[in-house]
Amino acid sequence: MNRRRFLKNAAAIPLLPIAVSQTLTTAAGRAATGIPVRRVRPGDPLWPSTASWSRLRREVEGRLIKVESPLIACQAEPNGTPCQEVLKQLKNPYYVGDQPGLTQTSGWADAWMSAPSVYAVAATKTEDVVAAVNFARDKNLRLVVKGGGHSYKGTSSSADSLLIWTRAMNSIVLHDAFVGQGCAGKQSSQPAVTVGAGAVWVQAYDAVTTKAGRYVQGGGCTTVGVAGLVQSGGFGSFSKNYGTAAAGLLEAEIVTADGAVRIANACQNSDLFWGIKGGGGSLGVVTKVTLRTRQLPEYFGGVLAKIKANGDAAFRKLIARTIAFYKEHLFNPHWGEQINFQSGNSVEISMVFQGLNRHQAEEVWKPFLDWLRDSPSDFSFEAPFAFLEIPARHFWDPEYILKHHGELMARDERPGAPERNLFWKGDGAQVGWFIHGYRSAWLPGSLLAPERQGVLADALFESTRHRNVGFHFNKGLAGASADDLAAAKDTAMNPAVLDAFALVIIAGGGPPAFPGLPGHKPDLQAARRASRDVNKAMDRLLELATNPGSYVSESDFFERSWQQSHWGSNYSRLAAAKRKYDPLGLFFVHHGVGSEEWSADGFTRLTGP
């Protein structure tokens, strides 16, 4: 940071002539003077007047709201019914998503804590977004954008900011034969779906799969926001077969920092289009996306089990066998999701499959089960193998799932909540999560070569001495089809994703935490201990892979070389798009493209134009 220059310039501000100080009321004006831009906060002389806010409220037809955390109910009466009701709902992802003042992660130790914006534009249409973008830019405000609110890194939350809240922009339109605007004659038509930016994936799955019998690549977690996931890259349980969500993007409507509404696709604004696909979400406000839809297989299904090894030697054997088995039988587009290698010498399997039926899945796993059963003194089952088969069309169908597999999914229990408001119980633990430590890395497929499996197994065993280690096989594309690899290659994501057989995630966290809330204060000592263990566990695995890269939306808040880690060789191209469409950095997110020019809170420009 050029701190000396900043202080010197800041001290000179009162002496500036009026004409110059007037230019300072806009970010562009400040940048033109060479004086670092400092965004305004409530109480600053340049914070917009009540009359200005009223003008914005009129422009957005009343949809400007003052934001408060619902936890305010707990300040006055921590034991009162309103407070207790809010605390109970903090584990309901739909309730959290419906609050402009909350986020799905409550914070991250020593990194960020969820904080409500001052105002929000609860946008229902593109014009609302345009008005908010113009207002934030002209008034030099810190702007945040929130859809599903699932950012682990708090990128949709900032105190003293204006929020564009897209939650209500959730319309969904199916197309039999979509051609991008301006692409007639250049692109063949294909089935697609246009989804409002603020929709969550369960709404898209309901329309596309349950009602129309098609597949759209979205997130595994049903409550993640559509636009947030596409701009992350975006993996679902079946990404080894259908690729990333970003790779399925055909077109987006986006409001850029100049307030223009742009169509981005392969035929117009193609640099913006490419940057939206996995660029991390700071090129503008996406208002809707059109994604290709694909044929649904007959069945989706899952394999669940937990195997306990009797001692360290048996656990080493189990790790080695699991890796070899994965490589031989599961390293293909049929299989996704996770195997978790745990500190208690156990292996937890929560894998999903597509394009197989239950019988075929059982056949695939038979050699592994036989191997386990041959060594009863070494291995026991903490949870026996369970094979599930679900007609693909019913995978997200509330009626079917709750009737046949109520053990897998939970409902939004609020009175009057839509029936489709379902979430996987496995994701429930993360609702309101206070993160202690979180790191991830893409492990290259070369580690599965027979001659490398031994070193991988050794590192994995040693890593589990510190922390559980999760292999998310659907979040690395090695093993996917050539077409899906080519489509993913044409996105801003780090190309390392193409060669990775899995994203390994090592993390820890606790229940929802809010500073000052009795009984819910962050336990920083425990968090720092856990974070140290996460680091030790990941550092051991990283001895196997230099610069492996990691998934922008599921990675370390403290990553030092984040540009390389999240975008690799694509960073310079992404940075060029940022300079073109947002030269003054209106859209700031932690470790987003161009954020190196800003202070950590996104309020002070340190370098740049």
Ligand X SMILES: Cc1cc2nc3c(=O)[nH]c(=O)nc-3n(C[C@H](O)[C@H](O)[C@H](O)COP(=O)(O)OP(=O)(O)OC[C@H]3O[C@@H](n4cnc5c(N)ncnc54)[C@H](O)[C@@H]3O)c2cc1C
Binding positions for ligand X, rule: CB under 6 A: 104-105, 144-152, 155-156, 166, 197, 219-221, 224-225, 227-229, 231-232, 234-235, 281, 285-286, 427, 430, 553-554, 589
Residue among 103 and 463 whose Cβ is closer to ligand X: 103
Smallest gap from Cβ 23 to ligand X, in A, equals 29
Smallest gap from Cβ 280 to ligand X, in A, equals 7
SS3 225: strand
CA torsion sign for 313, 315, 320, 321 is positive
SS3 357: coil
Smallest gap from Cβ 200 to ligand X, in A, equals 7
* Apex 85 CA angle, 428 and 164, nearest 5: 70
Record the tokens describing residue 588, joined without a space: 């700031």
Residue among 37 and 254 whose Cβ is closer to ligand X: 254
Burial 116-137 (b: 16+ CB within 10 A, else e): bbbbbbbbbebebbbbbbbbbb
Q: Are 540 and 573 in contact (CB under 8 A)?
A: no
User: Which strands sit side by side in the sheet containing 249-255, from one edge to the other?
Assistant: 172-178, 190-196, 285-292, 249-255, 261-265
From the number of C-beta atoms within 10 Å of its C-beta (0-12, 13-18, 19+), residue 350 rates as: middle
Residue among 221 and 291 whose Cβ is closer to ligand X: 221
Residue among 460 and 507 whose Cβ is closer to ligand X: 507
Calpha distance 262→255 (Å, rounded): 6
Residue among 234 and 301 whose Cβ is closer to ligand X: 234
> Which residue, 420, 197, 413, 424, is CA-closest to 300?
424
Residue among 104 and 210 whose Cβ is closer to ligand X: 104
Beta bridge partners of 286: 254
Q: Tokens 């006055």: give the residue.
A: 76
Q: Which residue's Cβ lies closest to ligand X?
A: 228
Q: State which H helix or E strand residue 470 sits in.
A: strand 469-472
Calpha distance 583→257 (Å, rounded): 8
Calpha distance 206→420 (Å, rounded): 7
Residue among 325 and 424 whose Cβ is closer to ligand X: 424
Beta bridge partners of 262: 254
Smallest gap from Cβ 540 to ligand X, in A, equals 25
Smallest gap from Cβ 316 to ligand X, in A, equals 31
Calpha distance 570→548 (Å, rounded): 15
Smallest gap from Cβ 39 to ligand X, in A, equals 16
Residue among 33 and 599 whose Cβ is closer to ligand X: 599
> Which residue, 418, 419, 398, 417, is CA-closest to 409?
398
Smallest gap from Cβ 553 to ligand X, in A, equals 4
Alpha helices by DSSP H, listed for 34-124, are: 50-59, 72-76, 81-89, 93-97
Residue among 372 and 584 whose Cβ is closer to ligand X: 584
From the number of C-beta atoms within 10 Å of its C-beta (0-12, 13-18, 19+), residue 183 rates as: middle
Residue among 191 and 476 whose Cβ is closer to ligand X: 476
Q: Are 146 and 166 in contact (CB under 8 A)?
A: yes
DSSP state of 326: I
Smallest gap from Cβ 80 to ligand X, in A, equals 29
What Å distances lie between residue 399 and 17, 206, 307, 586, CA to CA? 68, 11, 32, 44
Smallest gap from Cβ 276 to ligand X, in A, equals 8
Which three-class secondary structure string do you get for 189-211?
CEEEEEEECCCEHHHHHHHHHHH
Residue among 235 and 562 whose Cβ is closer to ligand X: 235
Smallest gap from Cβ 261 to ligand X, in A, equals 13
Residue among 284 and 548 whose Cβ is closer to ligand X: 284
Residue among 395 and 461 whose Cβ is closer to ligand X: 395
Smallest gap from Cβ 438 to ligand X, in A, equals 10
Calpha distance 526→521 (Å, rounded): 12
Smallest gap from Cβ 476 to ligand X, in A, equals 12
Smallest gap from Cβ 414 to ligand X, in A, equals 19
